[in-house]
Amino acid sequence: MTGQTLVKVGMADLNIAIEGAVLKTTGLGSCVGLTLFDPQCRVAGMAHVMLPSSDIARESQINLAKYADTAIPELLERMQAAGARLTRLEAKMAGGAQMFALGGSDTLRIGPRNVESCTAILGRYRIPILSADTGGNYGRTVEFDSYKGILVIRSVQHGVKEI
């Protein structure tokens, strides 16, 4: 993906891309890199979701991109403002790893809970998940091409794959 404009998405961040720009985020461990794409108008969005629910937020000014339940609606709003239509959106996601071997405590299952939360919220909006590369115990870096709708996933352990 050379020669294209690169739009970086940091941790607990989100952004959109148009005109073939590439969205990129690094450091996906338990976080989920969620992409949305309108293939007709080629508007893409990416959120680097850290936590499943804003119910656990402790900050006074909430970072909407940090939580699945606030990041997805915010991303949808930005994409629709750029011309995307909710009925045409498709999702792909990566990440949601269980980075540490821990006991059975549900509060420590951040990666799987992030995936479950993103999946449930997308279901409420009736946005299909076309493909996903989630789980495991390794980190990922992802790039999403806003022209082709391809998500490239890189990891040290598993090399490069496209979904």
Q: Is 161 domain-assigned?
A: no
Q: Is 1 domain-assigned?
A: no
Closest CA to 132 of 149, 153, 155: 153
Q: Cα–chain-centroid distance for residue 160?
A: 17
11-52: pLDDT as tens digits: 999 999 998 999 999 999 999 999 999 999 999 999 999 999
Asked if 96 and 114 count as a contact pair (C-beta separation under 8 A), the reply is: yes
Q: Is 46 domain-assigned?
A: yes
CATH code, domain carrying 50: 3.30.1330.200
pLDDT of 2 strictly over 60? no
| Separation between Cα atoms, residue 78 and residue 36, nearest integer Å | 11
Tally of structural domains, the chain: 1
79-113: pLDDT as tens digits: 999 999 999 999 999 999 998 765 555 557 899 99
- The owner of tokens 């992409």 is 35
| Separation between Cα atoms, residue 7 and residue 111, nearest integer Å | 24
Domain hosting 73: range is: 6-155
Give, in degrees to the nearest 5, the angle at Cα 112 between 111 and 117: 100
Q: Is 163 domain-assigned?
A: no
**Predicted TM-score of the model (pTM):** 0.92
Q: Is 162 domain-assigned?
A: no
Closest CA to 152 of 35, 18, 29: 35
Q: Is 56 domain-assigned?
A: yes
pLDDT at 1: 46
Q: Which amino acids are annotated catalytic?
A: 31
- Within 10 angstroms of residue 25's Cβ, the number of other Cβ atoms is 28
Give, in degrees to the nearest 5, the angle at Cα 125 between 150 and 144: 15
Q: Is 81 domain-assigned?
A: yes
Q: Show Cβ contacts of residue 21 under 8 Å, excluding neighbours closer than 6 positions.
A: 4, 5, 6, 7, 44, 146
Q: Is 48 domain-assigned?
A: yes
